[in-house]
Structure 1
Amino acid sequence: MAKHELERVELTNMCAIIDEENQKVVVQKRVKSWCGITFPGGHVERAEAIVPSTIREIKEETGLDIRDLKACGIKDWYNPETSSRYIVFLFATTNFSGNLLEETAEGEVYWEDIEKLPDLELSSGFWEMAEMMLSRKYAEFSYLIDGKDWIKNFY
């Protein structure tokens, strides 16, 4: 059996918290890396399971407790310069409780109308992720990096 060289992988998560009654979602106006409007999320810690990592990150970044997460797909890309892969596990939920924080070190957090999302100052590549999470049209959003070009692929 052939051996495959392992690649370094950075695991992250993101969750669309949806208020179906008011047609709103929680957004974060990021001021650190990947600036702009996104859904909240963060990194998976060493040996942490994916869903619990998402629940933890959402609590830290929004103050909300979430349950009944539905997998919406993944976003990923392989960076040939660093020989590493970056993976974002995408989730959505309509089951939440608690009080929404106004701001964290990551940025301002607030409810936004779903229909207004395309008109906001979104983080680069976020709209495609939001569409996947809200419509569940694709299972994977991947970039193929070809020199300076980042080619989008949907599966």
Structure 2
Amino acid sequence: MDTRIEILTMCMVWDKMNDQVLLMNRPDRKGFPGYIAPGGKVDFPESIVDGAVREVLEETGLVVNEITYKGLDEFCDPEQGLRYMVFNYLATSFEGQLLQDPPEGELLWVPMKRVFELPMQDWFAERFPRFFQKGTFERSVIWEKSSGRTLQETFMVYSDSVLEQSGTR
């Protein structure tokens, strides 16, 4: 069986000064309904980070100036031969005006303390805190779509302690 690989991004836009994040309310017809961060497919041959920046611009109208890689969420379904990789970023500097008629759903600046009051997919609620934790994360899940069962899961958090201890930059 051939393996199909889909590469996607998700980029949390964080207004640190006002301690709020930009989320979009995706309608049912778009899939993954509820509140979610901007993101989408990486176009070949663009880089993954360029794909994240482009998706934020297309979905929100904002131009990202500073972006940090936060981690990888990977989902594999052996029955379908599918490997679905989502590269996660945190944008902390941006400019521009929000789109009046965004293509993926209504945009909303949400105070950090109120995020979990909004309807969202379980996987997004689980991923959300990882954008704001030190280091980077890697989560790999092997699942069967036909049964909805998780067969195996690996989760790691990587710190930069080795670099910090050695003074390397």
Please give the TM-score of this superposition, normalised by the length of structure 1: 0.88
TM-aligned CA deviation for residue 46 of structure 1? 1.6
Of stretches 144-153 and 65-74 in structure 1, the one that deviates more from structure 2 is 144-153
Q: Work out whether 1:15 is the aligned partner of 2:11.
A: yes
Distance 1:69 1:138, change over 3 A: closer
**What is the aligned length?**
151
| Structure with the higher fraction of residues in helix conformation | 2
Query: Alpha-carbon deviations, 1:89-135, whole Å to 9, x = none?
Result: 00002110000124422110121011111221012300122111122
SS of the residue 2:122 aligns to:
coil
Q: In angstroms, what is the RMSD of aligned CA positions?
A: 1.9
Distance 1:52 1:128, change over 3 A: same
Residue identity in the other structure for 2:117: D
Show structure 2 runs of 5+ residues with no match: 157-169
Distance 1:37 1:153, change over 3 A: farther
Question: Residues 51-62 of structure 1: matches in 2 within 5 Å?
Answer: 51-62=49-60
Question: Residues 1-155 of structure 1: matches in 2 within 5 Å?
Answer: 7-31=3-27, 32-136=30-134, 139-145=137-143, 147-150=147-150, 153-155=154-156
Distance 1:35 1:110, change over 3 A: same
Cα contact 1:17–1:94 (8 A) shared by 2: yes
Cα contact 1:102–1:110 (8 A) shared by 2: no
Cα contact 1:14–1:40 (8 A) shared by 2: yes
Cα contact 2:11–2:56 (8 A) shared by 1: yes
Alpha-carbon distance in 1 for matches of 2:22, 2:80? 33
> Rg bigger for which structure?
2
Show structure 1 runs of 5+ residues with no match: none
